Chain A
Amino acid sequence: MTDTDRGTQRDRHSAFSLFTQQSLPACKPVLTPEWVIMTFLFIGFIFIPVGLVTLRASHSVVEIVERYDIGCVPEPFRIDKVSYIQDDSIPKNCSLSFKVPKYMKAPIYIYYQLDNYYQNHRRYVKSRSDKQLLHGQNEHGISSCQPVEVNNDRPIIPCGLIAWSLFNDTFTFIRNRAELKVNRKNIAWKSDRGHKFGKNVYPFNFQNGTLIGGGKLNPTIPLSDQEDLIVWMRTSALPSFRKLYGRIEKDLDVDDVVVVHLMNNYNTYSFGGKKKLVVGAKCNK
């Protein structure tokens, strides 16, 4: 054997040459019936327990959904709900009640649900200024807020369609004539409160235009503490969505009757959207 021969012999076994000769050790599975059956069994093995656990979890939750958008419009106005909702002179008080079907364990989550509301419309999603929300007074970087960026030549804080159309129905819960306190803190994502909405940014020039969209903000509270705004501004993914309104930190017993007093301010009538109140909690003790 010559030197070169030996060289190639040695080469043939080195890792590099296995690579270049495309003969790396490889696993070559073939879909034999045994393998297929084994795979299916394995998937079943995983999914049956997972399914059981999920099913049980799903049964341990109680959820009460009350639609109120029609019920809260008094009979005479039902022909033209839009003008009813736009007429500021008419009081918008309304109340509804529900019976607790199962024991509800605190915390009880309260959501409002809107249907047919395109919070994910491109125009809507874009119409905000993250810079302004975090840093406040800034003439620049609010062009994205169109068409709600300035009013009377002064920038609006918070600008943009999302903030402008803030949901402003309010709910008060009463059980046995006693008000159930709704905790409206900590309903927004922590990162939003901490890093997207400024601690020193206060609402300014907000809802001062000719056309008023949704809710107003207390100009003395910084944006980072305006949690309903923060929740609202995290745009929903789908046209039917729920948003967290608050928590009741008391348990509710079976057959408790809860009366909800609400201010039906928000206009979903013009586009045929539904409004629902959702109360949910775990039911196991």
Chain B
Amino acid sequence: MVGGRRKKQHFSRIHAFTCGKAYFRGDHSLIGGPGFSRVVYCNDPECFEASLLNYGGNYVRSTKYTLATFFPKSLFEQFRRVANFYFLICAILSFTPLSPYSSISNVLPLVVVIGATMGKEAVEDWKRKKQDIEMNNRKVKVHQGDGRFEHTKWMDLKVGDIVKVEKDEFFPADLILLSSSYEEAICYVETMNLDGETNLKLKQALEATSSLHEDSSFQNFKAVIRCEDPNANLYSFVGSLEFRKEQYPLSPQQLLLRDSKLRNTDYIFGAVIFTGHDTKVIQNSTEPPSKRSKIERRMDKIVYVLFALLVLLSVIGSIFFGIATREDLENGKMTRWYLRPDETTIYYDPERATVAAILQFLTALMLYSYLIPISLYVSIEVVKVLQSIFINQDLHMYYEEADKPARARTSNLNEELGQVDTILSDKTGTLTCNSMEFIKCSVAGTSYGRGITEVEKALAWRKVSPLAQDVTEEEGQVEEFKKEKPSVKGFNFLDERIMNGNWIKEPRADVIQKFLLLLAVCHTAIPEVDEEAGRTSYEAESPDEAAFVVAARELGFEFYERTQTRISFYEFDPLSGKKVERSYNLLNILEFSSSRKRMSVIVRNEEGKLLLLCKGADSVMFERLAKSGQEFAELTKEHIAEYADAGLRTLVIAYREIDEQEYVEFNEQFTEAKNLVSADREEMIEEAAGKIERDLILLGATAVEDKLQNGVPDCIDKLAQAGIKIWVLTGDKMETAINIGFACSLLRQGMKQIVINPETPEIKALEKSDDKSAAAAAFKASVLQQIAEGKRLLSSSNKDSEAVALIVDGKSLTYALEDDVKDNFLELAIGCASVICCRSSPKQKALVTRLVKSKTGSTTLAIGDGANDVGMLQEADIGVGISGVEGMQAVMSSDIAIAQFRFLERLLLVHGHWCYRRISSMICYFFYKNIAFGFTIFFYEIYASFSGQAVYNDWFLSLYNVFFTSLPVIALGVFDQDVSSRLCLKFPPLYQEGIQNVLFSWLRILAWLFNGVLSATIIFFFCIRAMQHQAFRKGGEVVGLEILGATMYTCVVWVVNCQMALSISYFTYIQHLFIWGGIVFWYIFLIAYGAIDPDISTSAYQVFIEACAPSGLYWLLTLLVLIASLLPYFAYSAIQMRFFPLYHQMIQWIRSDGQTDDPEYCHIVRQRSLSHTTVGYTARFEAKSKSSKERARDH
């Protein structure tokens, strides 16, 4: 392999790259001191010194529990919930004589409930365990001595091992790069899992070790690395390498981090320095914050309210009990002698009535515990898991191409999906596919390319829709170009005038030729020729650059070789019609930078002419055109505006011929500048480049589509109609971000843009000076001023209800997020229809998310696909990960993973809405049924001298929540649909119900609680009045305690189940089964339980068969109580439905009237929406039709 090594070109040669020259800096003197104590004996992990150090292994554990800690830890977790703790106390107390019921009947439900929750925990943790096992059992080649490398499991790696990582493998631990397949010992690393950046990073080993190319060269390799202790900082590293008695400094340049990937390099050798939990990436990972939904938090409050109610009732009860007990002995004489107050226990002692009352308080706490639904938490968890399964199963969110369904990773947040107020979205990979396609160009004032962008598609679709008949332009063109997609990646250009060599027939063929030539030459891409297929592919720094080279190739200028000094390509020769080989001498590359916004190359063509080829942003290019070179400037500008509005990235293409003299001068200055070591090196280079990049001759412009994912504009439009605010937070530069804003209709022409980007020359000047604080202050002042200006603009435009967009760049964001500014900033941002933050770091993304979440109190959803979005995903109320191409980091830290952005529409509008509605009605209903039940118990106490005697049999009590009423609630929570999915999507404003929390407002909750009390009152008083003195049966027997209990219980079961049937409007066989099944089950239970030996069934013995069933009174009473308890609710909801319908009820109306396909009705219903749509193409369309109407009026 030594001789036959492939000579490849490297970026290092092309760039003015400053690599490898490491030197000892101040930090290195710290080595060996505190915090820098790690010593690694390379290739000798078994040696004595190393064994003393005992660094941890490479096993990584992400599970919450181990086998040993599962029980104590998860039990502890369970009983941290107040309600569960309360039930635990009740269970313990139920073994004392205080208990109003038998202990077993009380403990069993608790065991069931806690057991179910713990089971769920165990299953979840097991899944994590399986992932760990997969990760820890991956294999990597490790040096075993004698130059042999063998596959070893990741978890068996030790500090000091030498590993050989091959192309496209992940690094198993943090490594120090020793050598690679390249002679210079460089390698390319993709750190997407760490920071989300897709571009490759270059790492280079020390020269001292760079010659170790062979497996065998490690036979006798010995070195000692001393470095810092494990820490979380990804971008710093301090260490030294002792090799052959020499010390060499180590820097981050030699550090390869776990979870990053080796790219474009055949193999590398590295020494393991940090393993397992010591690695930087794991040190960096924070515990995923456990998120709870707003509804659940409010539910906790309701539980507290119920606790308060419980205590109140208990206090009332115990006071009355105390009084009654005290009166049992009057002047030493017994009053209620049948209770034997003379020979009593502490619980009923009239002489210590206060103590008795306090003890009675505890009894009452236990007795009224049915006010608090023990099964609420577990039911909700079960329901949420089932809801998640439905989300995962949804075929409409299944991405067939990648075989990826939606995956709800935490089921905690389902209902939160129905309340999202603000979406914070990443751009690259989330809104876009992260692939650039060359789609249009403007050459010599003619626009070529008939590809259709996603935006145009969306607009075109909108035009055909019936509501928008006023504007009809260019409609015919749409169908015509729906041709097959070209199979070439990065190329979506379609124009018969240019393709297949037809360009020579165009009037300005000479310009087109130069244009294409420039595309083929002016870049920094590296070709990779696949000899067998005869195709050339390119490795470029950015995907747009690759798109240019691909475009040039497809149009006949195939670039195939780059050496340090030459660029070679095949050119399609218009005269002979053959491919001709050409090669240009590459003289200089003037690189792209964000301040220059352009790049150029200087080449000498085969005729010996010197050419400067330049491409750049229109803002800098037009001012650099020569007077004579502006032939097509106006037309080109027009085209660029058009392209930009269609959401394309544009670059202006220009060139210039240079004479020798000028070049020599330039080259001198440029080389000098490059060799400078001072701080203003960059500036000098810029200045030199600027001098020569002038008097350019315009050729045209290119338009590259940063391809939006399928259906993104449509989805954004629907979300906007639903009243959700959408913010884009991107690390990309402002221009790109704005383009995408246009592409997804978040921005549109005519929208006022507030740009906060105070890069004024004064501030730049200040920055160059050493006075950093002054610069910062000036910058901040300028940001403040711009925010203030923006607010003024906002308030003025609010009057004419114009939409305003806010665009902030990362640096300004730093200041805008400072404590004293952020409120101002947020106020401005909330007022704007769309907000775009560009150049924002992962941390800033998270900060913005936190700001929105904490200050507005509204629900935020963050969506992203890269590791740089992790912070944002974790910070937001809901994090949605896109399981796209960019690694799994985002998905792993997300709450819900989907494959495509467009699935968000269904996830929120359908599943979110449903889940929100389901959970909120479920919780309301839960409280209702427990209040209804609990209050009958309380009312009975009034008639039982508050002694704590329960009206129901013990097992009736304890099975109420678990059996007779739980299944219908679960059916409600899992299956209920107020509006079908089709209509959910058709009427996005329905989503507002969730944002404004209509279905779970305190008023509604209290109304349900009131309904519960009402039902209890009706049930109880009807029953006791009807049964008190009446002969119950033919034989003249009267009603005892057990019959009253069974009858009342029957009424409660009927009432709560029928209340459920009344309050839902969606019955499948499942609902029927559970609701009516619950009632039937009660009777079956009553019969079965009554048939058991009276020892067990106690007071329920034969109560149904002998007493209730033969009695007409029992059946009549059930019917009467049932109807009477439901009537108030029925009347209320009938009136509400008819006269004050909620939004979903309006939709139900028009559905039952069969008007959902009547566009007029739909329009009217949409108009009833609670908020005005300001972004999305619907709004864009409305704005456009409005302005065109105005124009028509003006004419």
Contact = CB atoms under 8 A, between A and B. Distances in A.
Interface of A: 4, 8, 12, 17, 20-33, 36, 39, 43, 46-47, 50, 54, 82, 107, 109, 111, 113, 117-125, 130-131, 134, 146-148, 161, 164-165, 186-191, 195-196, 211, 213-214, 234-244, 247, 267, 270-272, 280
Contacts of B1137: 30-32
A237 B1029 CA distance: 10
Interface string B932-962: 0000000000011101110100000000000
B246 interface: no
Contact of B1116 (A12, A22, A54, A187): A54
Contacts of A147: 340, 343-344
A236 B1106 CA distance: 17
A270 B949 CA distance: 23
B314 interface: no
Given A109-B1036, A195-B1101, A270-B337, A32 B945 contact: no
B95 interface: no
A234 B1024 CA distance: 17
Contacts of B1095: 130-131
A109 B1065 contact: no
A240 B943 CA distance: 9
Given A235-B1040, A247-B1036, A125 B1028 contact: no
Contacts of A118: 336, 339, 944-945, 947
Contacts of B745: none
B1069 interface: yes
Interface in B380-401: 390, 393-395, 400
Contact of B1148 (A17, A28, A36, A120): A28
Contact of B943 (A27, A120, A164, A213): A120
Q: Which of A47, A113, A122 has the most CB of B within 10 A?
A: A122
A47 B1029 contact: no
A148 B337 CA distance: 13
Given A107-B1036, A118-B336, A26 B1024 contact: no
A21 B394 contact: yes
Nearest to A162: B338
A238 B1102 CA distance: 21
Nearest to A83: B333
Interface in B1090-1138: 1094-1095, 1098, 1101-1102, 1106-1107, 1116, 1119, 1123, 1130, 1133-1134, 1137-1138
Interface string B331-364: 0011111111011110110000000000000000
Closest 10 CB pairs of A and B: A165-B338, A237-B1044, A122-B947, A122-B949, A191-B1102, A20-B393, A109-B1036, A30-B1152, A36-B1134, A24-B1068
A161 B1065 contact: no
Contacts of A107: 1036
A31 B340 contact: no
Contacts of A30: 1065, 1137, 1148-1149, 1151-1152
Interface string B1125-1162: 00000100110011000000000110110000000000
Nearest to B914: A22
Contacts of A186: 1035
Contacts of A47: 1123
B1134 A241 contact: no
A244 B949 contact: no
Contacts of A280: 1031
Q: Which of A21, A31, A165 has the most CB of B within 10 A?
A: A31
B981 interface: yes
Given A22-B977, A122-B949, A271 B337 contact: yes
B1152 A28 contact: yes
Contacts of A26: 977, 1066-1068
B1065 A237 contact: no
A122 B100 contact: yes
Nearest to A195: B1094
Contact of A120 (B949, B1070, B1152): B949
Interface of B: 100, 333-340, 342-345, 347-348, 390, 393-395, 400, 914, 943-945, 947-949, 951, 975, 977, 980-981, 1024, 1027-1029, 1031, 1035-1045, 1065-1070, 1094-1095, 1098, 1101-1102, 1106-1107, 1116, 1119, 1123, 1130, 1133-1134, 1137-1138, 1148-1149, 1151-1152
Given A28-B1151, A125-B1041, A237-B943, 15 more contacts: A22-B975, A27-B1067, A30-B1065, A30-B1137, A30-B1148, A118-B947, A121-B947, A122-B949, A123-B348, A134-B1094, A188-B1037, A237-B1043, A237-B1045, A241-B1038, A244-B1038
A25 B1068 contact: yes
11 contacts: A8-B395, A22-B390, A28-B1065, A118-B945, A121-B947, A122-B948, A134-B1094, A234-B1042, A235-B1041, A237-B1027, A272-B335
A92 B350 CA distance: 31
A141 to B, nearest CB: 10
B1101 A242 contact: no
B945 to A, nearest CB: 5
Contacts of A22: 390, 914, 975, 977, 981
A270 B333 contact: yes
A125 B1065 CA distance: 45
Contacts of B1028: 237-238, 240-241
Contacts of A120: 943-945, 947, 949, 1041
Nearest to B1048: A237
Contact of A267 (B337, B1069, B1149): B337
A125 B940 CA distance: 14
Contacts of A43: 1123
Contacts of B1070: 24
Given A26-B1066, A121-B945, A234 B1040 contact: yes
Contacts of A29: 1065, 1067
Contacts of A125: 949, 1041
A192 B687 CA distance: 109
A115 to B, nearest CB: 11
A239 B1070 CA distance: 44
Contacts of B1102: 189, 191, 195
A257 B943 CA distance: 37
Q: Which of A124, A146, A211 has the most CB of B within 10 A?
A: A124
A121 B100 CA distance: 11
Q: Which of B395, B951, B981 has the most CB of A within 10 A?
A: B395
Contacts of A161: 338-340
Contact of B337 (A21, A39, A213, A235): A213
A5 to B, nearest CB: 9
B333 A82 contact: yes
Contacts of A8: 395
B343 to A, nearest CB: 4
B340 to A, nearest CB: 5
A32 B348 contact: no
A124 B336 CA distance: 11
Nearest to B345: A146
B417 to A, nearest CB: 15
Contacts of A239: 943-945
Contact of A32 (B333, B1035, B1040, B1152): B1152
B1145 to A, nearest CB: 8
Nearest to B1130: A39
B1139 to A, nearest CB: 10
Given A39-B1130, A118-B336, A50 B343 contact: no
A267 B1070 CA distance: 58
A124 B1038 contact: no
Contacts of B1041: 119-120, 125, 234-237
A193 to B, nearest CB: 11
B1036 A244 contact: yes
Contact of B944 (A31, A122, A211): A122
B337 A109 contact: no
A113 B335 contact: no
Contacts of B1029: 113, 240-242
